Structure 1
């Protein structure tokens, strides 16, 4: 059984190096370490980055991703990567005042590949997004995984083209999702995401089983209170969603 948790690096700074080293090791297996980017200290201190990590029974980190929050006056990693793409800049500027976030840095150790752990991490990030005052999620995803994200609700924006990122072996697209309405998510994934969102609101721990490839629900009365790991603290106390 794996535990999935949100980590605010301002509260738990050790997660930054732990995540970065593990992510780099995973990407090096595919000679794709060019896609590993360091998170700016300014973003870490300002609370604009939230980490989602999976840990096994020993507490070892076995997978994760980052959620970068963007508000007026800030830019996301995808904007730096595709800095010459004027259509992207216009799209994000028109939506930034309502809260935009980027899902990036996804990785999982090889022994969990094929177990849908990556999808479980992405669903958890989607569930948390509105609690971070975000109503648009964006990602730059290559052709090997775009189809895996589609049932969760991510759709490619054709006007933003296809990009050789992180190198010429990959064909990456900008994909988008409204995490509040979830109108493009398949019903099964939508209800899973809404269940996870409720669990995050109630500060319930989230578990995921590699054997069944399913989230394991924990009732509020069953969970052990978690102090510094509570969703409220890790999301900076933000609990209000944008109106639909």
Structure 2
């Protein structure tokens, strides 16, 4: 499952792939595979030890890469990230908007602060990074933007109302940008995972176990996705071979929603 999939060693050779939320579970799988397929990775995260984690994931044999620590939910942070990528490597081919993570709780238990943080972490990071990246891609006449959405937008997952509001915005941004920038050689798509095995979910925190089980019961395949299975879908949409796919939401969900 995932880990044994063949790697296309030259698929991203010479390309610059920016990945946000790169120190987390899905982000680490994306950057690891992108580097193995030849990409110059620009890894971004706001975690205090993010650079150390990224270095551990990529190891010593990855093509030249760099790390950017930034708060991406505001314009300045996103602008800094894209500027670092282009100044370091002179180009920007792929942006993967993976930064996010939800504050998952019953809707009436949310405070104004947790509502704002959920939207900031998931929607505004995607908005600002895409806004800054697309100008560079438009000038080059080529680009791939892949957003991480959520299958819960489609199935109304328990206690996910506020998270779905933010991820639903990501899905909507995808279609709008895809139509607007298709003429510029830029495709914009979203990968929408269901529950995924990450360090957080694998730790089985007591307050979340019941929610995890409700999610698992919705999945016909009977398990969560692996991070590498999500990364596989992301990197396909980020590749040149996906040149005629844009404005789509690709669910990686074990059948929890269909069509």
Give the TM-score normalised by structure 2.
0.30
Give the TM-score normalised by structure 1.
0.31
State the structure with bigger RCO (CA 8 A, min sep 6), 1 or 2: 1
Structure showing the higher helix proportion among its residues:
2
Structure showing the higher strand proportion among its residues:
1
